[in-house]
Amino acid sequence: MNGSPNGGAAPAEPRPTTGGSFLHDTWTVFLREVTPVVREPLGLAFSMVQPLLFLFLFGPLLGGAGGFAGGQSPWQWFVPGILVMLCLFGPMMSGYTLLVELLGGSLERMLVSPLNRTAMLIGRTLKESAVLAVQAVLIVALAVPLGFEPHWLGALAGTALLTVFGVGLGALSFVLAMASQPDGELFYGVTQMLLFPLLLLSGVLLPLDHGPVWLQAAAAVNPVSYVAEAARALFAGSFTEAAVLHGASAAAAVALAGLVLGTRRMRRGAR
């Protein structure tokens, strides 16, 4: 963008007459979102408090619950679930930050700039996935001393799967935030209504195998339970299990739906 200096009294800085490329714009949005995290990394730990509480205060109880196939350590079963939980809470919160920016004026200001509308969504979701990946690594690192033995390549694949899922959830939460204008009540209502049923019906906290039939039926239509199953399989290194395919499909479907809806909503602008 550095053109020739224009003459006269005006400073030599060129006046941009067009916005940047799609990549430039995506990186710009990503940078804007990630800068506060880099400046204050403690905030990252703060958003991990809930999953960490479950890991340390709930996880040890599972040892006594029994019912884990093949004498497996409950950590093998529980840690991937905690990561799924992270995936649910993080992106939902990202919709909240967007909502705050919508209700303030900062998103409007960016909508008046030539920033690419799709880049505005992709940049934000990229930041969510970066944060998720870092948090996943931290959780796994904390769980290993407790007795968690991940298959390392599988763990990488599992994290990738969860990241894709998180991108989708993040984008959907952005759509919800934009639809919640002007007061944001819809956002709070829907997230409150959805978050815990999705979590409880995913078998993340306790296996659903012994639950009543209706509960299992409800879990069968919950994409989160497929993602959780797939994450468990991957973290154990079982790449060829059918659960991996199902979970990957569920995550991809959520990601696709989120990105399509999100891009369409961003293009329409703030209102």
- Residue 117 or 232: which CB sits closer to another protein? 117
Residue 159 corresponds to which tokens in the numbers above? 């994290």
Residue 25 corresponds to which tokens in the numbers above? 């714009």
C-alpha span between 130 and 136 (Å, rounded): 10
Tell me the closest approach of the beta carbon of residue 129 to another protein, in angstroms.
Answer: 19
Residues 53-112 that bind another protein (CB under 8 A): 97, 100-101, 103-106, 108-112
| Residue 115 sits in the site that holds another protein (CB under 8 A) | yes
CA-wise closest residue to 79 among 52, 46, 50: 52
Residue type, 82: I
- Residue 19 or 184: which CB sits closer to another protein? 19
* Residue of the chain from 41, 114, 189, 197 that contacts another protein (CB under 8 A): 114
CA dihedral 108, 114, 115, 121 (to 10 degrees): 60
Stretch that binds another protein, among 34-42, 131-139, 170-178, 249-257 (CB under 8 A): 34-42
Are 228 and 141 in contact by the 8 Å Cβ rule? The answer is: no
Size of the site for another protein (CB under 8 A): 37
* Residue of the chain from 22, 23, 36, 152 that contacts another protein (CB under 8 A): 36
C-alpha span between 167 and 184 (Å, rounded): 22
| Chain center to CA of 197 | 18
Residue 144 corresponds to which tokens in the numbers above? 């290993």
Tell me the closest approach of the beta carbon of residue 170 to another protein, in angstroms.
Answer: 16
- DSSP 3-state of 256: helix
C-alpha span between 196 and 201 (Å, rounded): 8
Tell me the closest approach of the beta carbon of residue 102 to another protein, in angstroms.
Answer: 10
* Residue of the chain from 4, 8, 18, 212 that contacts another protein (CB under 8 A): 18
| Residue 15 sits in the site that holds another protein (CB under 8 A) | yes
- Residue 42 or 271: which CB sits closer to another protein? 271
Residues that bind another protein (CB under 8 A): 1-2, 10-11, 13, 15-20, 24-25, 28, 31-32, 35-36, 39, 97, 100-101, 103-106, 108-115, 269-271
